[in-house]
Amino acid sequence: MLPPPKSAPILIVGALFLFCVAVWSIALAPASDAVKKIDARVFGSPTDESRTRMDVLLAEHIGGPELAKRSKTSGCAVRGPFPDRACTPGSVFESATTSVICVSGYTKKVRSVSDKLRRQIYSSYDIAYPQPTGSYELDHLIPLALGGDNSTANLFPEAAEPAPGFKEKDVVEVYLYEEVCAGRLPLAAAQRQIAADWLSVYKALDPAVAARIKQKYRSWSN
């Protein structure tokens, strides 16, 4: 009888290793699935259908036209949840790149809207100032968090009611900010989309994602 080959011990050890890996994987599979379910419930992962709708929507603004220039300074009129495009086309800080806006505390450093400017904007829209607390917000059409500036071309009085109003727009602002800072959306595309039609983003947003954002910022979402 021939002696066993010298490689036999190695083969036996390898077989035992593969067997242990297989058993370990089977044991952990249910736990892994549970973690995924918890993540989806807590953080609000978008469904494939919602993700597809949103990708198609936002793709339209990648490489799209530049923001328009302000062409009217008075006689402005709010159009539902949107500003008067001639009065508030949206405007951005040229220096506000992704590396700048995605740093915590950025918006606090650049926010600068005087009471005089606030009154001027409300007057241009023929809306009395001040309004009851919570009824209106002097909104940055392109939010500071996405590089929007504090100029008259980027400000308008936005009502809370009827919904969708400024609270719903805030949800869109947070969502787009997260997408930009995660590297999933070019900053310019987010700026053009929110300036052109933020409501379409809100309607396409996965309900779980919207709920997660509202929960995180419940002080203004209630």
Q: Which residues pair with 92 in a beta bridge?
A: 148
Residues across the chain: 222
Interval 42-81: pLDDT, tens: 334 556 666 667 777 787 777 767 899 999 999 999 999 9
- Mean of pLDDT values over 3-25: 50
With a cut of 80, say whether residue 120 has pLDDT above it.
yes
Q: Which of 220, 182, 93, 194 is nearest to 142 (CA)?
A: 194
Burial class (CB in 10 A: 0-12, 13-18, 19+), 54: buried
With a cut of 90, say whether residue 40 has pLDDT above it.
no
* Whole-angstrom distance, CA of residue 74 vs CA of residue 92: 21
With a cut of 90, say whether residue 218 has pLDDT above it.
no
Mean model confidence pLDDT for the chain: 82
With a cut of 80, say whether residue 166 has pLDDT above it.
yes
Q: Which residue has the higher pLDDT, 196 or 20?
A: 196
> Are the C-beta atoms of 149 and 91 separated by less than 8 Å?
yes
SS (H, E, C) the chain: CCCCCCCHHHHHHHHHHHHHHHHHHHHHHHHHHHHHHHHHHHHHCCCHHHHHHHHHHHHCCCCCCCCCCCCCCCCCCCECCECCCCCCCCCECCCCCHHHHCCCCHHHHHCCCCHHHHHHHHHHCCCCCCCCCCCEEEEECCCHHHCECCCHHHEEEEECCCCCCHHHHHHHHHHHHHHHHCCCCCHHHHHHHHHHHHHHHHHHCCHHHHHHHHHHCHHHHC
Burial class (CB in 10 A: 0-12, 13-18, 19+), 66: exposed
* Whole-angstrom distance, CA of residue 115 vs CA of residue 128: 14
pTM greater than 0.85 (yes/no): no
* Whole-angstrom distance, CA of residue 219 vs CA of residue 183: 27
- Residue 213: predicted pLDDT: 94
What tokens does 171 get? 């949800």
